[in-house]
A and B are shown apart, each in its own frame.
Chain A
């Protein structure tokens, strides 16, 4: 193993340790303080903690990125902070549009699979000006969610993925990167994030599902980051994914009956249904990511 590779591994390990430690330390402390998994708690003060944890926790990978560069004296080359539009407009547009479409597709799938006994009109009664306005305002508020999203992306796609791509072939890097990203969420998943705590195989199945979802997301996120050589499109994808998920669309447009019905659905089952649109995106992204690879080889 040459020196360059060893140095990259060292830097990656330092980055991962700094990224993983805060949640590993913080989550058991919070569980101990509040006496229950914080993401399933119904208490109002815990909801505030969850919100703050979301905002500041998502910035940990960026801080880890910054600290690693400073500690290892790596410098600030290839930070992915530039903006390159020319010839990449499609990827920039996709970074906004694809996740919006995925959200609507997820809502449609939710209705076809879980809300079959309700007609579409019964399930989604709220499509008035007010509801569309609320949806657009939610989309506009993504400007703010951009900051935490950037916080994660600048760490994972802006630092970890380029390092992994240096160390291993593209498919392996995407899978390993996704798993690492999924495992980073593990303390949160144990505390009930995304899947709650009431499912068979808790918490291992939840962690596994999260890793699977992160591998899928990683395909699309890495594709746009590497093609645009910029971290902002990935941040847009992440912000829309977090801010306009199927759950939020359901709360906005769904009727009382539909919301009540979805409350009783098994989280793991709904995961497979709701992420099937993401799966399609992931497959297309993966093909595009590999396809360009071949072209590059030919051109050499």
Chain B
């Protein structure tokens, strides 16, 4: 009998019961205040419209999901749900909610709140919605009783469970009371909070950030000496964040600072750097739909023309590891021994000789404000010039780049950018980046390969973990053979925290911003 992926997940979930973490009946002592300096603005607190990892703090501290990703490698643990079951055809997921979970206003968390939350996500079509739009139709989710909720998927989905932590539950009564003209209270929830999370919102000022007070009645209980108050501030200037950490003004900051700033922070006795292998792959995304870019020999020439080692050694100061494929090194789905491409201009020239159509200038659209993206573009421009490929470098803010990416015709030929973790499954990377079904939404490549798509379709419905592994490995090999992207490194997360803080639990999904586990060192 084949052990299915669901069976495996159930085993994992069962073994990570809340009681084993010592939460039940746990108590905590007063623990002071934690101030976090973030590089992104907290201009909107709505957990269903914001989805970027930079602002994970408001999603995961103010709100709870049915399950939660913790630690690295990430483990999915029961959260508002204590268990779930899946129907034989893989289309019906039934979750049993905890009896003791409450929202911050004291109202119990019920199945109706879960139903309202998923309906709201689908209706607003923002944030995490793209993970569910194909699988969950409006009105299909049912509350069987106060603590049982049933998701009826339109088709089996092997990744649904891994995306469940992104369904953050809002207090439906409170949100409904603030709806205006059928807006799902989008304006209200941008400035207010309706969650059950570990911290309850006290103040929000879009110009400054937000503060929260520990929710003592949180269902998971508290152990040790957690922080009583948290403050998440927007500090756009990197130098100010770094100096603030050194001075002790901030107890934490975002973990993707430039490496020279990390080295600077290491010198300070007030700061500790927690480093972890993340799941954030730096890619030179190739728009494979455009003339010339749709020629596999040209793409291989590009792949041979990027100086991977030079970039990692000189620009990244050796702070990251080479990642030869689309999936992060630390997740399954990559064929064993995949070497990827290496910098070899002779091989690049050989591939170029096989290109019959005339060359044209290639456009690289780097992300403004992200030095690695801009430096990769410049480095690539130099090496491509050596093989006779002219490059125009454009630098645009992310909003411009992402707007252009909606359409294959407007997306630039090459974009140096990162693919972050939204759920822990290779589909988050190789599947979304190269599947035809994701064109116009989550793809970076507009790659289209019927053989790839056939495997992807199967991988998305299969409940057999070994089959899925094999399929994703084959897909990754195809992407490599077709040079559908240029894969450079997997980001290392260097989380800067006050040396007085302990208990930070990093997960690539919440990026060390899930503060309930942290506390001040005593003594």
Whether chains A and B associate is: no
Chain B interface (Cβ < 8 Å from any Cβ of A): none
